[in-house]
Structure 1
Amino acid sequence: MRLIHTIAVLGGDARQRYLSELLSSAQFSVRTFGVPGLPDSAPSAMEIASQADAVCLPTPAIASGAVTGLPGLTPAQLLSALPPDTVVFGGGLGAFRSLLQRTGTPYYDMLQNPALALANASVTAEGAILLALQAMPITLQDADVLLTGFGRIGKSLAGKLRALGARVTLTSRNPKNFPTIEQLSCTPDETGVYHLGLSQYDAVFNTVPAPVFSSAQIAMLRPDCPYIELASSPGGIAPDAAKPAAYIPAPGLPGKTAPKTAAAILFRAMCDSPYLSRQEVL
Structure 2
Amino acid sequence: MLNGMKILIAGGDARYIEVINMLTEHNAQLYLAGFSQLNINKQGVTKVNDLQQHIENMDAIVLPVAGIDDEGKVEAPYSDKPVKINDVLFKKTPDHCRIYSGTAKHQLKEMAKSANRKLTTLFSRDDLAIYNSIPTAEGALKLAIENTNETVHGSTITVLGFGRVGVTVARLFSAVGANVTVAVRKKAAFARLYELGIAAIDMTDLEQHASKTDIFINTIPAPVLTNSIILKMKQSGLIIDLASSPGGTDFNFAKQQGIQALHALGLPGKTAPKTAGRIIATILQDELLSNHTID
For the superposition of Structure 1 and Structure 2, which TM-score range results when normalised by the shorter chain? 0.7 to 0.9
Gaps of 5+ in 1: none
Taking the aligned partners of 2:205 and 2:97, their CA distance within structure 1 comes to 48
After TM superposition, the runs of 4+ consecutive aligned structure 1 residues lying more than 3 A away are: 48-51, 238-244, 274-281
Superposed, which structure 2 residues align to 1:104-119 within 5 Å? 104-119=116-131
| TM-fit CA distance, 1:278 | 11
Per-residue CA deviation, residues 227-249 of structure 1 (Å, 9 max, x unaligned), is 11100022112487344631112
* Partner residue, 1:26: 26
Alpha-carbon contact 1:12-1:36 (below 8 Å) kept? no
Q: Which residue, 70, 79, 82 being the options, matches 2:90?
A: 79
Superposed, which structure 2 residues align to 1:1-282 within 5 Å? 5-35=5-35, 38=38, 41-47=47-53, 49-69=55-75, 73-95=84-106, 96-191=108-203, 193-194=205-206, 196-238=208-250, 241-243=253-255, 245-273=259-287, 275=289
Gaps of 5+ in 2: 40-45, 77-81
Taking the aligned partners of 1:137 and 1:38, their CA distance within structure 2 comes to 38
Mean CA deviation greater in 226-235 or 71-80: 71-80
Taking the aligned partners of 1:136 and 1:261, their CA distance within structure 2 comes to 26
Alpha-carbon contact 2:219-2:242 (below 8 Å) kept? yes
Provide TM-score, normalisation by structure 1. 0.87
Q: Structure 1 residues 245 and 276 mapped into 2: Cα distance closer, same or farther (>3 Å)?
A: same
Mean CA deviation greater in 75-84 or 124-133: 75-84
Taking the aligned partners of 2:12 and 2:37, their CA distance within structure 1 comes to 11
Identity of aligned residues (%): 27
Taking the aligned partners of 1:34 and 1:230, their CA distance within structure 2 comes to 27
| TM-fit CA distance, 1:19 | 0.6
State how many pairs are aligned.
Answer: 280
| TM-fit CA distance, 1:268 | 1.3
Alignment-mate amino acid for residue 270 of structure 2: K
Taking the aligned partners of 2:115 and 2:265, their CA distance within structure 1 comes to 30
| TM-fit CA distance, 1:92 | 1.1
Q: Structure 1 residues 16 and 48 mapped into 2: Cα distance closer, same or farther (>3 Å)?
A: farther
| TM-fit CA distance, 1:44 | 2.1
Provide TM-score, normalisation by structure 2. 0.84
Q: Structure 1 residues 239 and 251 mapped into 2: Cα distance closer, same or farther (>3 Å)?
A: closer
Cα RMSD, aligned residues only? 2.8
Taking the aligned partners of 1:77 and 1:210, their CA distance within structure 2 comes to 34
